[in-house]
Structure 1
Amino acid sequence: MTWFLLCVGLLIGGYFIYGAFVEKVFGINTQRQTPAFTQTDGVDFVPMSKGKVYLIQLLNIAGVGPIFGPILGALYGPAAMLWIVFGCIFAGAVHDYFSGMLSVRNNGQSVPNLAGKYLGNNAKHFMNLFAIILLLLVGVVFISAPAGLLSKLTGLDVTLFVGIIFVYYLIATIVPIDKIIGRLYPFFGALLVFMSLGLIIALALSTEHTMLPGFEMGDFFTNLNPNDMPLWPALFITIACGAVSGFHATQSPLMARCVENESNGRFVFFGAMIGEGVIALIWCAIALSFFGGVEGLNAGMAGNPANVVYEASNGLLGTFGGFLAILGVIVLPITSGDTAFRSARLILAEFFNIKQIELPKRLMLALPLFVVGAVLTQVDFGIIWRYFGVANQTTAVLMLWTASAYLLRHNKFHWICTVPAMFMTCVVISFMLNSSTLGAGLPMTVSTIAGLVTTAIIATMIIIKTKGKGDIDTDEEDKVELANEL
């Protein structure tokens, strides 16, 4: 229990200490009007209170990722908990803060446009492609997972629930953000918090299960995977949500269009990521504890993390409490899947310059997305999840480099973004070169060296090309920002 509480304490301390430092480096302006007021349209740009926006942001980013990812990552042992803590504080929360605040500073624009502004048009086109692919994969993953759990709970055919969730997604994607998302999601967010706390308290009080049984300090730095899977770089792909996730960069602009003041940014964006990190820690600890260690977890999971959710929820909270906990897990992906499709609609709207005030224009962009999504639901879940993991972390890399370029351009302390960008770049390249199913299948040593060299080249090019360009930036928003700083 001590190790778990220490990890939670580090996350909370990271919000107050490192979060304040990141906010200072960015340099908020409390007198500047946010897009929620300057571009109010009653559909996507709608002012909302700080607490409401926080809970919506938490639900938007917390799909099955901070549950399934940490459960799968727990197979490596307590090392997974260290990655959740330090990845969340120094990479994920920084990533989320800048993806949200740069959108606030740029009229609520989506990530591809931000990448284009600070990294160039090639990055914009690449990000457009990757963001749409990622969001479609997220939408599909977050249909299949809850539909499967609902089918297991009720005994009804999974196809029925896929259809019901699809219909809901379409409605939530096209109606004004304050009609469904703004009204229901704060309640669901509170449910998520209570569900997570209930499970970890039940585990701590359980007489049948011990928190992190038999693990010692050295195990936090050891790969205990029973299937002999290498920790580097797979762990950093497996645990995305809860540590660092590119999907969040597609979600933060949704709330950047609703934030009432720049001073709310740290609580909403940095804070929601810390909240997700706590949720990821809870599920990682449950996975390691409920089955008595990694060997028991491997057997209990049987290749599907949903089995862990089902068994642990019922085992710790009983039939009724387990039912409520599983419902909470079902709500998570549904409330992220709809915003994934919504984000995809808005990215396409920006790309084609189509205003979204009129319903027919929203439908024109949304319907093709759902047709593609319906086709992808027929693909095996395991395959979709693997591609989702790589696309997710690649998007995170692009967002971190975008934030780094922004800080370089304005002569600010860019290393808070550059260091995690370099680390994640090396992770993605090494993984892709080493993977036999998704990449080149090269030996790990060769893949890692190539990843390190490529990362160094990319970092050097971005730093040399971008540093000091704030003096010649002609964008009106940057002019105002520079004037405020001076």
Structure 2
Amino acid sequence: MTTLAIALGALIIYLIAYNTYGKWLGQKIFKLSTQSVAPSIELEDGNDYVPTKKGIVFGHHFTSIAGTGPIVGPALAVMWGWLPALLWVLFGSIFIGAVHDFGALVVSMRNKGKTVGDIAGDVISPRVRLLFLLILAIALTIVLAIFGLVIAVVFRIFPQSITPCLIQIPLAIIIGFFVHRRGLNILIPSVIALVLMYLSVFFGNAGWLASFNATLAAWPIMTWVTVLLAYSYIASVLPVWILLQPRDYINSLQLISALVLVVLGLIIAGLWGGAPIDGTRPPLEIVAPAVEENVTAKQLPLIFPFLFVTIACGAVSGFHCLVSSGTSSKQLRCETDARFVGYGSMLTEGFLAVLVILACVAGLGLGLTAKDGTFLTGAAAWDAQYSTWASSKGLAAKINAFVTGSSNFLQALGISATFAKALMGVFVASFAATTLDSACRLQRYVVQELAGCWIDLRHSKLPEPERSTVVAEKRNNSWLTNKHVCTIAACLVAWWMASLPAAPGKAAGTGGMILWPLFGAINQLLGGLAFLVVLFWMRKKKMPTWFIALPTFFMLVLPVWAMLYQIFIAAIGSNQSWIDQERWLLVSIGFSTIILEFWMIAEALMAWKRSKATELPPTEPELAPN
């Protein structure tokens, strides 16, 4: 009953938070208004700025922010104990993560849908804009490289997930056409798409589809990375309503319905036990320690700061500011929808992270087949899956812990083990895929903005107003800012990074995965820098800032601490040189990011001293006519 009480308690806490703290932020702090003209309407272009119903934007936003992060992070962090992981997810998502996402979304909507990096130049200094864009480019390149590898690995582990992920593409294009062009009600095509996707999961491991999936799963990892990045290029340059938006929406229906099934299975298992074993339903119990005491035996790193960067998505994630200000702010047709999308999506992701924790610490105990073929239950299953940090931190191990635990919940409903594991495999792969294509589109925006900075610099000596005219023309017509050129450049750099071997003689892709330890830290650092931009914007608007000052400081200090530890202390502990040839990519990117952060903070401190609480130039949307 403890497991069930935690799940229901978390759901109630999130509902209360949305209707109290979230409502207070929307009404009293940001003062959202239905009378404000949203950027999607003011700047509608049919490509990036597309007015859209909030339910569809929610689907795009939620599936974009909730990649594999809220799965693999909590699935590993439970090794410090389920209680610290649970508390960080609950309070982090409510008071830090959701505030971060909501704030970035509102600030972007009030600035014509600009990205957080672009806004940094307006509220702090032009140099900070360039520094932020460089950090964004590094972070998004890592996301593209790692998630391309992650999806390829997931396809190899769960071949039955390939067909359901592929079938989403033509379904999305059809739905996008009929909804956007024909004005068709979204309900009917949504139901049809959901049924077709579940049928593809059901039949994905049988007959010729099983052979087809097995053939594709056998492809080399880098072949899959190439295909996935090519798809991401197409999704990035097409108008958002054709593929990206409807694919994320129908994907969200499948993912949320799967979450509902997991919750129902958890309720059944909590009340009556799991799927019968030898005619007896085993009780659902937490089989992991609340706080791990055998830190040395488990070879665990320091809980502080590493718990807070291991669980990024699910509590707070800097990547979310890119989705909020990069795509979602250009699609919301009403300013008041921002709370539902920005604050609500983060709480939904937090609840997903809670379910992941419960699946790993309780669901796993309902049954696990060990590597030697032995079927284990209870604490024995937990010990087999989480013997040491080194054996549990691999991508396959973390995904397997969640898939096994959550599929055990589904089996409590009477769903077969084969279908349950296939469904949860699709769940993981689909989340990763939606993050990949959204990240590619976001990287295109960043590369275009960096190219714009270069154009500004080249013509900085021209007198006004000639300079403004020339710069505007070059920005609109230069090949440097062409969306195809920028997207191809983003994909090629990510492919190169993903393809690197860890050392001479090692397989392609092993070097890219070395970046995984940095992913959480850079992700959290990005969140701190986004908080900094929101803080400056709110100060200039004479808004209260006390509630984001502490999260800003927390999110700026912790990631640097974690990165420095990874670069120096972790190398010493593993008897490696910090400049070992297998670590050069991690060290170079880590150092570059830290230098850019310190530089940006120094610029921000100088700007803070110079600034006064004065109004920004009139970049907010005008009020709609009565």
TM-score > 0.5 by shorter chain: yes
Deviations 1:266-288 (A, max 9, x none): 00111111111111111111111
Counterpart position of 1:369: 490
Matches within 5 A, 1:122-141: 122-141=127-146
Matches within 5 A, 1:392-411: 392-411=523-542
Counterpart position of 2:504: none
Matched residue type, 1:227: Q
Pick one of 226, 239, 251 that aligns with 1:188: 251
Deviation at 1:419, TM superposition (A): 1.5
Is residue 199 of structure 1 aligned with residue 262 of structure 2? yes
Counterpart position of 1:61: 65
Counterpart position of 2:92: 87
- CA separation of 1:36 and 1:172: change in aligned 2, threshold 3 A: same
- CA separation of 1:14 and 1:276: change in aligned 2, threshold 3 A: same
Counterpart position of 1:8: 11
Matches within 5 A, 1:64-463: 64-78=68-82, 79-154=84-159, 155=214, 156-159=218-221, 160-206=223-269, 207-208=273-274, 211=284, 213=286, 219=290, 226-253=298-325, 254-292=327-365, 295-299=383-387, 301=392, 303-304=394-395, 305-317=398-410, 318-353=417-452, 354-355=475-476, 361-378=482-499, 379-380=509-510, 382-437=513-568, 461=605
Deviation at 1:48, TM superposition (A): 0.4
Counterpart position of 1:17: 20
Structure 1 CA distance, aligned partners of 2:363 and 2:446?
42
Matched residue type, 1:103: S
Deviation at 1:136, TM superposition (A): 1.3
SS of 1:45 mapped into structure 2 = coil
Give the TM-score taking structure 2 as reference length. Answer: 0.69
The number of residues matched between the two structures is: 463
- CA separation of 1:144 and 1:413: change in aligned 2, threshold 3 A: same
Counterpart position of 2:176: none
Deviation at 1:346, TM superposition (A): 1.1
Structure 2 CA distance, aligned partners of 1:356 and 1:60?
30
Structure 2 CA distance, aligned partners of 1:158 and 1:164?
11
SS of 1:291 mapped into structure 2 = helix
Counterpart contact for 1:151–1:158, Cα < 8 Å: no
- CA separation of 1:224 and 1:74: change in aligned 2, threshold 3 A: farther
Counterpart position of 1:27: 31
Counterpart contact for 1:147–1:162, Cα < 8 Å: yes
Structure 1 CA distance, aligned partners of 2:571 and 2:607?
29
Structure 2 CA distance, aligned partners of 1:170 and 1:190?
24
- CA separation of 1:399 and 1:205: change in aligned 2, threshold 3 A: same
- CA separation of 1:146 and 1:316: change in aligned 2, threshold 3 A: farther
- CA separation of 1:375 and 1:58: change in aligned 2, threshold 3 A: same
Counterpart contact for 2:70–2:352, Cα < 8 Å: yes
**% same residue:** 25
Deviations 1:68-117 (A, max 9, x none): 11111111112101100100011100000111111111111112112222
Counterpart position of 2:609: 465
Counterpart contact for 1:313–1:323, Cα < 8 Å: no
Deviation at 1:356, TM superposition (A): 9.3
Question: 116-125 vs 414-423, which deviates more?
Answer: 116-125
Matched residue type, 2:37: Q
Gaps of 5+ in 1: 443-453, 482-486
Structure 2 CA distance, aligned partners of 1:441 and 1:270?
41
Structure 2 CA distance, aligned partners of 1:26 and 1:462?
26
- CA separation of 1:420 and 1:440: change in aligned 2, threshold 3 A: farther
Counterpart contact for 1:249–1:396, Cα < 8 Å: yes
Deviation at 1:403, TM superposition (A): 1.1
Counterpart contact for 1:309–1:326, Cα < 8 Å: no
Deviation at 1:350, TM superposition (A): 2.8
Counterpart contact for 1:405–1:466, Cα < 8 Å: no
Counterpart position of 1:451: none
- CA separation of 1:466 and 1:306: change in aligned 2, threshold 3 A: farther
Matched residue type, 2:566: S
Structure 2 CA distance, aligned partners of 1:44 and 1:29?
23
Matched residue type, 1:245: S
Counterpart contact for 2:146–2:513, Cα < 8 Å: no
Deviation at 1:429, TM superposition (A): 3.0
- CA separation of 1:9 and 1:350: change in aligned 2, threshold 3 A: same
Structure 2 CA distance, aligned partners of 1:463 and 1:14?
34
Counterpart contact for 1:405–1:463, Cα < 8 Å: no
Deviations 1:380-419 (A, max 9, x none): 3542211221211111000011111122222211012112
Counterpart contact for 1:433–1:441, Cα < 8 Å: no
Matched residue type, 2:342: F
- CA separation of 1:18 and 1:346: change in aligned 2, threshold 3 A: same
Structure 2 CA distance, aligned partners of 1:412 and 1:141?
38
Counterpart position of 1:43: 47
Deviations 1:106-138 (A, max 9, x none): 111112112222222332122101111111111
SS of 2:151 mapped into structure 1 = helix
Structure 2 CA distance, aligned partners of 1:210 and 1:118?
56
SS of 1:232 mapped into structure 2 = helix
Counterpart contact for 1:60–1:339, Cα < 8 Å: yes
Matched residue type, 2:609: K
Matched residue type, 1:298: Y
Measured on the aligned residues, the alpha-carbon RMSD in Å equals 3.0
Counterpart contact for 1:411–1:468, Cα < 8 Å: no
Counterpart contact for 1:65–1:240, Cα < 8 Å: yes
Counterpart contact for 2:41–2:333, Cα < 8 Å: yes
Deviation at 1:173, TM superposition (A): 0.9
Counterpart contact for 1:118–1:405, Cα < 8 Å: yes
Structure 1 CA distance, aligned partners of 2:63 and 2:527?
19
Deviation at 1:321, TM superposition (A): 2.5
Structure 2 CA distance, aligned partners of 1:248 and 1:212?
34
SS of 2:304 mapped into structure 1 = coil
Matched residue type, 2:140: L
- CA separation of 1:186 and 1:356: change in aligned 2, threshold 3 A: farther
Matched residue type, 2:62: L
SS of 1:248 mapped into structure 2 = helix
Counterpart contact for 2:112–2:620, Cα < 8 Å: no
